[in-house]
Structure 1
Amino acid sequence: MDNEFARLINAFPKELKWLLSLLHIDKQDSESQTAPSNMDWDYFLKVVKHHRVYPLVYSILKNADQDLIPDNVLHKLRSDYNRNTFHMLHLSSEMESVCKSLRNHQVLSLMLKGPVLSQELYGDLSLRTSKDLDILVPMEDVEKAEQILMDLGYEVNHEFPRILGDWKWRFHHISFFHAQKRIQLELHWRLNPEMGMEPKFHELWDRSRVSTITKYPVHFLGNEDLFLYLVSHGARHAWFRLRWLVDIDKIVHKGLDWTTLRELLQVYKSNHVGGQALLLIAALFGTEITHEMSTLIEGKLQRKLAINALAFIRTTINLCSEPHPELDKQYRRYMYRLRWGQQKWNFIMRRFYPSSTDAVMLPLPKALHFLYVPLRPFLWLLRQIKQQSSL
């Protein structure tokens, strides 16, 4: 770890620094389990919860010297661990049921994260948290898969207009919720939003693996495709949860075909996010950067993105749902750096491309949809005026 990374990490709260030492994959010994003096245990629990690593932390601390950890802290971690275990078993059962229903209707599906990721990387369903099920289907089967899910009792959350075809590239998933089972599910037709380059579904399917945690075969991403997806997802969220980086640490230690991976990252313009992730796990967890990895971390952009991410990791702010003026500005700058050339161009151009929101504001017959192109600036301006007036 070089001086700049060391300086920034040393400025982390002691509770977060101790958490990092606990998560160090090769140093889970009695020394790493000794907490710093004057620990704010309430804040420590908040940090562990925010980063969604409480199952791992409990699995480490339950064997520590009980005199070193307050009883209420272990009790809280144990309670969260047990609750997560039941939740993951519940998700695993539902995952099998949904994938079977999709396949029975001739819809192929790939699990992106969830229980299969827990078993594949951690060897135990209980050691990783998952809020929902993320399922990828071919673009041409999205509407069919939606109907299957609704027949199973799922309802769409956060519906967006789909009058024009822009939704297929402006978005990458639809969120569902099953009220009776209390399960959230995201139906994906792309790995990532914003029309970034990524493998086609049939390529991912041909390289997929079959999970061993269910009786019915559930397919999930191949090793290198999984790394590509996880680093893209984590980078897009500025790695504000350590859980995502622990996933990367696990998959690196598990082993990758680095020749194949380098080719994938090169083809899909993802060298910078792959390098960023490797730099972060090296700095935060002490993961060894081998010769095979070294070419991926070279470059100023990878380093800059990794340093930028530390500002988000040190907080307990959820970038997805908690407005924070200063971090929001940093995040917008970070996202601009993250986009490679064509993505930046697409990001700018989509501002001029008609959206289904325009069609909601000014309904036109299908034969006149071409008029949304010249009308786009005026409709956008009208929306801004309405938003300002409603404040």
Structure 2
Amino acid sequence: MSLFSALPLEAQVLALAARTQVETPSAEKLRALLAQPLDWARLYRWVLRHGVVALVYRNLLQIAPDAIPEPWRLRLESEARSLALHNLHQTQELLRLIDQLEAEGIPVLPFKGPALAALIYGDPAARVYVDIDLLVRRADFRKARRVLEAMGYQAHKMLSGAEEEAYLDTQLGFEFIHESRHFVVELHWAFFYTIYDLALDPEAIWARHRPVPFAGRTIRTMAPEDLLLYLVIHGNKHRWLKLTWVADVAELVRRCPELDWSFVAQQARDLGVERVLAIGLILAEALLGAPVPEGIQSRLRQRRIAHRMAREVVHRWMFRDNTEVYAFWPVFWYHLRERERWRHRLGYLGHHLKLALAPTEKDRAFCRLPEQLTFLYPLIRPVRVLVERLHPGGNP
């Protein structure tokens, strides 16, 4: 049984409609599904959860407008309008940020957010997003931070100098929230958190970047080959819980027929993410009809573990509504299997060990140590936990 045919009817409708192009066979299949009894409450809930309201509403309206019950049509229309207005404001803010940073001599490369919606989907209103992601060079990071702060943004985490440097080195960026609470900027200097241990040189991203038209002007963007790898790693990091992450991959493949697949394959091999790439492409082709070249598809057919993991994504997480999707051990086991090299698997285990030992806010609140003694927090944690157990719900 294929990944698509194993989906519930509402999920099949979602997959057929969450595309910029619905080919004639898919449109006919969609009409046939809409003629059957559907749980519209469930479909509406999934449309919102998976971040595909604009695409689904647009395609349902064009392909089978009479099949949409009026109350649900009005709800979808309202959500699509709200999204368009939200995205317009986000796009305006993105341009304001680019202008200000570039005026200060800071090259900036937007990715995801409004730029991704416009460049891949051809419409900034086509995709749901909650933040604006920007890439700057590491040497420009502090200067860029000062520019953002002058524009009314404040760092989400207030850390000491040493803590901030450590955070930057491991998380590769920082989150800033505007004083209006309407905008969130994630400022990055590199990609792929150190949990992945990927030797992708940010300067290589800058060297391959290209200018593209956007909102009546020209902005920088990642080369499509780099963007494809970023999208599959990002989607897989979240176990593809949202169909919009699969749609990003599918639409990039659809929009860039000139994609250099040999370069993508070599990069994936060098980085040790061939299985991750395979999972993303299997999902994009099987669920959303991405036009993956036959040569690549023949290679994907040989990747049995990737196919098993793609089925696990669809059946265990993507269309489940319960809290099991966040259970620790299934998530841990999934991410351990995605890694094909023992070095990366050991790095993943080491990451969780560091998390277990890293000081938490509770540890800091229990005992404030001077900066030079913060290495003692792992010793303090057992004491803190013991005190909490002896004095539950109050101070000792």
Tell me which interval the TM-score lies in, with the shorter structure as reference length: 0.7 to 0.9
What pairs with 1:60-71 in structure 2 (closer than 5 Å)?
60-71=59-70
1:248 maps onto 2:249 in alignment: yes
- The one of 7, 12, 20 equivalent to 1:17 is 12
SS at match of 1:144: helix
Question: Structure 1: which amino acid aligns with 2:319?
Answer: R
Say if 1:53 and 1:316 are closer, same or farther in 2 by CA, change over 3 A: farther
- TM-score under structure 2 length normalisation: 0.84
- Mapped to 2, the partners of 1:239 and 1:89 lie a distance apart of 26
Say if 1:380 and 1:177 are closer, same or farther in 2 by CA, change over 3 A: same
Q: In the TM superposition, what whole-angstrom CA distance separates every residue of 1:298-355 from its partner, at most 9, and x where no partner exists?
A: 33332232122112111246xxxxx548744322221222244323322333435975
Q: In the TM superposition, what whole-angstrom CA distance separates every residue of 1:58-84 from its partner, at most 9, and x where no partner exists?
A: 111122343311112111111111111
- TM-score under structure 1 length normalisation: 0.85
Partner residue in 2 for 1:314: 319
- How far residue 210 of structure 1 moved from its aligned partner, in angstroms, is 2.1
CA contact (8 A) 1:275 1:298 kept: no
Say if 1:342 and 1:115 are closer, same or farther in 2 by CA, change over 3 A: same
Q: Which moved more, 1:217-226 or 1:20-29?
A: 20-29
CA contact (8 A) 2:131 2:184 kept: yes
- How far residue 190 of structure 1 moved from its aligned partner, in angstroms, is 2.6
1:219 maps onto 2:220 in alignment: yes
Question: Structure 1: which amino acid aligns with 2:282?
Answer: L
- How far residue 382 of structure 1 moved from its aligned partner, in angstroms, is 4.1
Question: Structure 2: which amino acid aligns with 1:112?
Answer: F
1:333 maps onto 2:336 in alignment: no
- Mapped to 1, the partners of 2:6 and 2:300 lie a distance apart of 27
Higher helix share: 2
Question: Structure 2: which amino acid aligns with 1:106?
Answer: G
CA contact (8 A) 1:169 1:195 kept: no
- Mapped to 1, the partners of 2:279 and 2:221 lie a distance apart of 24
Say if 1:105 and 1:386 are closer, same or farther in 2 by CA, change over 3 A: farther
Structure 1: stretches of 5+ with no match in the other structure: 318-322
- The one of 272, 285, 296 equivalent to 1:282 is 285
- How far residue 125 of structure 1 moved from its aligned partner, in angstroms, is 1.8
- How far residue 209 of structure 1 moved from its aligned partner, in angstroms, is 2.0
1:51 maps onto 2:27 in alignment: no
Say if 1:325 and 1:281 are closer, same or farther in 2 by CA, change over 3 A: closer
Partner residue in 2 for 1:32: 30
Partner residue in 1 for 2:95: 96
Partner residue in 2 for 1:320: none
Say if 1:379 and 1:299 are closer, same or farther in 2 by CA, change over 3 A: farther
SS at match of 2:299: helix
CA contact (8 A) 2:112 2:133 kept: yes
Partner residue in 2 for 1:183: 183
- Mapped to 2, the partners of 1:191 and 1:31 lie a distance apart of 39
Partner residue in 2 for 1:147: 146
Question: Structure 2: which amino acid aligns with 1:170?
Answer: T
- How far residue 56 of structure 1 moved from its aligned partner, in angstroms, is 0.3
The count of corresponding residues between Structure 1 and Structure 2 is: 376
Percent identity between the two aligned chains: 23
SS at match of 2:176: strand
CA contact (8 A) 2:359 2:377 kept: no
CA contact (8 A) 2:282 2:300 kept: no
- Mapped to 1, the partners of 2:43 and 2:354 lie a distance apart of 46
CA contact (8 A) 2:358 2:378 kept: no
Say if 1:66 and 1:296 are closer, same or farther in 2 by CA, change over 3 A: closer
Does 1 or 2 have the higher relative contact order (CA < 8 Å, sep 6+)? 1
Partner residue in 2 for 1:106: 105
Partner residue in 1 for 2:345: 344
Q: In the TM superposition, what whole-angstrom CA distance separates every residue of 1:250-289 from its partner, at most 9, and x where no partner exists?
A: 1112221111111111121111111011111232234455
CA contact (8 A) 2:51 2:128 kept: yes
1:197 maps onto 2:192 in alignment: no
Partner residue in 1 for 2:304: 300
- Mapped to 1, the partners of 2:75 and 2:215 lie a distance apart of 30
Partner residue in 2 for 1:363: 369
Q: Which moved more, 1:380-389 or 1:302-311?
A: 380-389
- Mapped to 2, the partners of 1:387 and 1:143 lie a distance apart of 39
- How far residue 357 of structure 1 moved from its aligned partner, in angstroms, is 5.3
